[in-house]
Amino acid sequence: MKVHGEGAFESAIEQSLLDSGWRPGIPARYDRQLGLDTSELFAFLGDTQNDAWLKLVAYHSKDVVETQRHFAEYLAKQIDERGPLDVLRRGIKDKGIPFRLAYFKPAHSITDDALTLYRANRLTVTRQLRYSARDDKSLDLALFVNGIPLATAELKNPLTNQTVEDAKKQYRTDRDPKELLFARRALAHFAVDPDLVFVTTRLAGDDTRFLPFNTGSAGPGKSGGAGNPAVDGYRTAYLWEQIWHPDTWMDLVRRFMHTDKESRALIFPRYHQWHAVTALTDHAAAHGSGDNYLVMHSAGSGKSNTIAWLAHRLSSLHTARAIPEKNIAANEPVFDKVIIITDRVVLDRQLQDTVFQFEHVPGVVQRIDKDSNQLAAALSGETAKVVISTMQKFGFILEKVDGLRGKRFAVIVDEAHSSQSGDNATALKKVLLRKGSDDIDDDGDPLTASALARGRHETLSYFAFTATPKSKTLELFGTREADGNVRPFHTYSMRQAIEEGFILDVLRQYVTYQSYWKLANQNPDDPEVDPKKAASQLARFAVLHPTMMAQKAEIIVEHYRRHTASRLGGRAKAMVVTGSREAAAKLYTAIKKYVETNGYSGCAPLVAFSGDLSLDGVEVTEARLNGFGESELPERFAYTAADDKHAGTPKAKQPVEYPILVVAEKYQTGFDQPLLTTMYVDKPLKGVAAVQTLSRLNRTHPLKAQGDVFVLDFVNESADITEQFKPYFETAATVPTDPNLLYTAENAVTSYALLVQTEMQAYVEALLDAEGKATTDAALHKAHAALYRFTDPARDRYVALAADDPESADGFRAALRDYTRMYAFLAQVVPYQDRELERLYLYGRALLNRLPRRQDPAVDIGEVQLTHLRVSKTGTHDASLDAEGEQMLPGFTGGGAGPQNDLATMALSELIDELNDRFGMGLGEADKVWFEQQVAALAEDGAVEAAALVNDEGNFGVVCEKRIEDVILSRHDDNGKLMQRYLDDDTLRNHMNQFARSQAYRLIRRKHGLA
């Protein structure tokens, strides 16, 4: 054998497997007609179920050969019908006699018999298996469990100029997917070389899709890119040393591989999924409950499956050894229940389907979709092992749950973020720890018990999943390491997901636009204004101006038609992200009008925002603008004419295609639409919001390539967006918070001398007593009144202070707000047992809601006019990141912005000049707003001017109506496209005429001092 040849690589793998407990398979013993190694099959049955086998032999008149022939044929038929996974897990019955085809490692090691049977499994590795009944083609490796083939592998050696790509090509072009071994036996097929591993669960010729099965360039669970790190030996040795180890392989068969109910595809875990689940469960088994874990897994990581596998494993997890410090014995269940906190209904269905394939017991997974009574029953009952709920339901069930004290819970948080640090999380802990107002600590103090309920507890473990952890999230759920910093327990990076092809890079094609504008002050008195508030209103006036909306609508629609509409075979979708509900409604209206005016088909928009909105005096909602209910929007948006099943029906009856969705807040997180290829951004994006919003584009689709993904941004700079992505591209860490910050915040509150200890104590005693004992309406009313009585004096003192020194009153409010926010977070992280801190939090939280707010005078910018506007492309950028490494997030400081008391004023005209210098750089005559030009021309018309001086505005309109269209038509060369819209759109023309009359009338009267 040549040292550099493929045979040496194959031999090294085989020897490693034999050393770990595999047996050598004999190729000649493989029955190509049945797809079974019958020799290993009958050896297994004889070792483990001889009595049952003898019964079956007796049924066949003691003819062993006939019994073996019949049983092998029947088993092959059962595998054909049910699949090898189900047969291995549940066995078969032949003539009423049950037979197990595999034994799996028990959850605990109490029964030696179970381990004896488990060790009797016969795992065999067969080299150069000739698998076909038609020819003598052979596979490099085949892996069998008790004679049933479960995996194949093709090995390649770069030293002989063949790589893993050649192995994939061999499977695609030289392995007939209709062959029995590939079609109805083996579950996974591995393409392997010394550097990389890929796997598929279905051969489909040229359409075979191989997924990477690599640890990541930095190693398992760490940040980095695709591939495997350099090691002392083969980079891919983890495959045969870890994954193909007998214990791991049997566990994969038992508790990982499953069939997706919707696609019917067999799911084999990706390496990071397997590693995360096993690392988490191994740690919990070794240390018991009481630890928190943060899993930083990128979008595209297959998080739903990871959570499903983890929940199932945790529900039957037993301790590996006794843990005396936590009063946990060996071989004891680590958790009594697993609770998943999520808002995703799809996760419920996936869990139900996945766990049932493993357990075949209904009711193991229960979703709480009714009320708190259902949740209380699930937590108290014995049937449900995995309970799925939302965080909000836990605040209402404290008095309904009995018997939970002393129980241990694993809480899996889907999309963990800082909201898990507030009162909802405390309510969950109180329920699971069964700490009501009648609970006391060892010293008999309910206030201390209330404080203790906020912190970490040895009976609760949190397993938190997120792709974008904030520093608070890291502190709550992360792992404090030797250098003192807090990091995720396990990472699968955005970089690795992009490099492995599971998501697309949304920053690769990033086009930026800039809006330039100028305003004119039409107020004759030039009032003094608060510059900060007035600047905000002036900018809002410019941004929401109809002309601004019209220009952006034109850019969006024309870009969509030229660059997006034809992508994905005509299926591509676009999202427009706006900064407010009003902006969304106005931009949607402008896009719709532009599409209709130009007669464009196939690019009708939809809009999504919450609640009611007054738009130009008309109450509108999302449903009213779209013409159908909110719940229908995802399906309507997903519809594409390219996939239309109604193509044969009359066009008038076919569904409408809506490829453009304008949103304000909604659909910017958690919305999974793979057809989205383009995003138009018209709002500032910062931090986590930037990543979550733009990541709506990163989902893959069979027709979607990297070049299809496109961002056009009207507001942000590409370099700024790159900075927002950095902390989440590989991995993040943070510095732990100084616990003494809370005492600094406490001192800031008490320094104002507004709070009285006796009032605070009376309030919290009434509150804690009422939480569990006010069971009747009368008792509840009495307790509620008491809470007001004990906060009244502090509120009155605050009102008096606000009248005398409003800035000090604002300072107190800011300090109290900062303290309550800081305590709600830090009490989850730091084991405070300070009664005074808890008392100030409970009292301060209530008092904040009762303090009247100072009403700053509103700013009236009066009459202003948009005179110049240009929306211009400023560049096309590749904003994607390279290897960025670990990013340190700033630690939690707790300080808020505090009161803003800078009330200096400036003249409105001066402020407008300042804004014009900032936003109007480079604007000239060509950038004058066309419509404003028409108003100015109308005001300069002699007949119109004369009429305005001697008439009220109503009578003036009669005269003006006869001249307005003549004036506008005489200036038609200034903007042909808008001119055409003016002529074609009656509604637009009437609106513009009415506005022009009003503006011209005011200009003329003001000019002559008659305003």
Assign 3-class secondary structure to 887-949: EEECCCCCCCCCCCCCCCCEEHHHHHHHHHHHHCCCCCHHHECHHHHHHHHHHHCHHHHHHHH
Instruction: In whole angstroms, give the CA distance from residue 461 to residue 481.
Output: 18
Q: Which residue has the higher pLDDT, 629 or 354?
A: 629
Q: What is the pLDDT of residue 440?
A: 46
CA distances from 8 to 15, 153, 155, 159, 603 (A): 10, 15, 11, 11, 60
CA distances from 118 to 93, 104, 121, 246, 659 (A): 20, 5, 6, 10, 56
- Chain center to CA of 196: 29
Instruction: In whole angstroms, give the CA distance from residue 164 to residue 192.
Output: 5
Neighbours of 991 (CB within 10 A): 13
CA distances from 99 to 58, 79, 96 (A): 15, 14, 10
Residue 656 DSSP code: P
The answer on pLDDT for 633 being more than 80 is yes
Two tokens at 419?
């909201």
Please provide the size of the chain in residues.
1011
**C-alpha count within 13 angstroms, C-beta hemisphere, residue 393:** 25
Whether the CB-CB separation of 87 and 99 falls below 8 Å is answered with no
Q: Which of 1004, 973, 811 is nearest to 900 (CA)?
A: 811
Whether the CB-CB separation of 298 and 466 falls below 8 Å is answered with no
Two tokens at 920?
């109007």
The answer on pLDDT for 588 being more than 70 is yes
In the numeric block, the tokens 């088993």 are attached to: 75
Amino acid, single-letter form, for residue 805: D
Counting Cβ atoms within 10 Å, is residue 207 exposed (0-12), middle (13-18) or buried (19+)?
exposed
Two tokens at 941?
């018309």
Instruction: In whole angstroms, give the CA distance from residue 471 to residue 493.
Output: 17
pLDDT digits (tens, 9 = 90+) for 479-510: 999 999 999 999 999 999 999 999 999 999 99
Q: What is the pLDDT of residue 672?
A: 86
Whether the CB-CB separation of 701 and 727 falls below 8 Å is answered with no
State how beta strands 188-192 and 710-713 pair: unpaired
The whole-model pTM stands at 0.87
Instruction: In whole angstroms, give the CA distance from residue 29 to residue 183.
Output: 20
160's CB contacts (< 8 A; 6+ apart) are 4, 5, 6
The answer on pLDDT for 609 being more than 70 is yes
Whether the CB-CB separation of 710 and 509 falls below 8 Å is answered with yes
Percentage of the residues of the chain whose pLDDT score is greater than 70: 84
Greatest mean pLDDT among 170-184, 448-462, 660-674 lies in 170-184
pLDDT digits (tens, 9 = 90+) for 65-90: 999 999 999 999 999 999 999 999 99
Whether the CB-CB separation of 168 and 198 falls below 8 Å is answered with yes
Q: Which of 553, 642, 658, 656 is nearest to 605 (CA)?
A: 658
Instruction: In whole angstroms, give the CA distance from residue 814 to residue 92.
Output: 70
Instruction: In whole angstroms, give the CA distance from residue 76 to residue 102.
Output: 15
In the numeric block, the tokens 């407008």 are attached to: 912
Two tokens at 564?
């997006």
Residue 560 DSSP code: I
Per-residue pLDDT, averaged over 52-63, amounts to 95
pLDDT digits (tens, 9 = 90+) for 232-266: 999 999 999 999 999 999 999 999 999 887 788 99
Q: What is the pLDDT of residue 33?
A: 97
Instruction: In whole angstroms, give the CA distance from residue 655 to residue 640.
Output: 9
Instruction: In whole angstroms, give the CA distance from residue 354 to residue 360.
Output: 10
Per-residue pLDDT, averaged over 161-174, amounts to 96
Per-residue pLDDT, averaged over 391-407, amounts to 70
Per-residue pLDDT, averaged over 664-680, amounts to 91
Least confident interval from 690-704, 769-783, 837-851: 769-783
Counting Cβ atoms within 10 Å, is residue 924 exposed (0-12), middle (13-18) or buried (19+)?
exposed
- Residue 906 pairs in a beta bridge with 529
Q: What is the pLDDT of residue 900?
A: 46
Q: Which residue has the higher pLDDT, 832 or 982?
A: 832
Q: Which residue has the higher pLDDT, 181 or 883?
A: 181
Q: Which residue has the higher pLDDT, 274 or 476?
A: 274
Instruction: In whole angstroms, give the CA distance from residue 493 to residue 167.
Output: 27
Percentage of the residues of the chain whose pLDDT score is greater than 90: 55
pLDDT digits (tens, 9 = 90+) for 825-861: 888 887 777 889 989 999 999 999 899 987 766 677 7
Q: Which of 907, 914, 917 is nearest to 861 (CA)?
A: 907
Whether the CB-CB separation of 405 and 391 falls below 8 Å is answered with no
Residue 854 DSSP code: P
- Chain center to CA of 719: 24
CA distances from 531 to 212, 568, 924 (A): 57, 49, 26
In angstroms and rounded to an integer, the radius of gyration of the C-alpha atoms of the chain is 35
Two tokens at 142?
């085949």
Task: Classify the phi-psi angles of 924: left when phi > 0, otherwise alpha if psi is within -120 to 50, otherwise beta.
Answer: beta
Whether the CB-CB separation of 679 and 605 falls below 8 Å is answered with no
Query: Residue 198: which H helix or E strand, with range?
Result: strand 197-200
Query: Residue 394: which H helix or E strand, with range?
Result: none
711's CB contacts (< 8 A; 6+ apart) are 506, 507, 509, 510, 511, 678, 679, 681, 694, 697
539's CB contacts (< 8 A; 6+ apart) are 915, 919
CA distances from 851 to 18, 169, 745 (A): 75, 71, 19
pLDDT digits (tens, 9 = 90+) for 549-570: 999 999 999 999 999 999 999 9
The answer on pLDDT for 442 being more than 60 is no
Q: Which residues of 59-70 are buried (b: 16+ CB within 10 A; e: fewer)?
A: ebeeeeeebbeb
Q: Which of 418, 374, 410, 411 is nearest to 393 (CA)?
A: 374
Instruction: In whole angstroms, give the CA distance from residue 161 to residue 158.
Output: 5
Q: Share the mean pLDDT of the chain.
A: 86
Whether the CB-CB separation of 920 and 517 falls below 8 Å is answered with yes
Instruction: In whole angstroms, give the CA distance from residue 815 to residue 838.
Output: 16
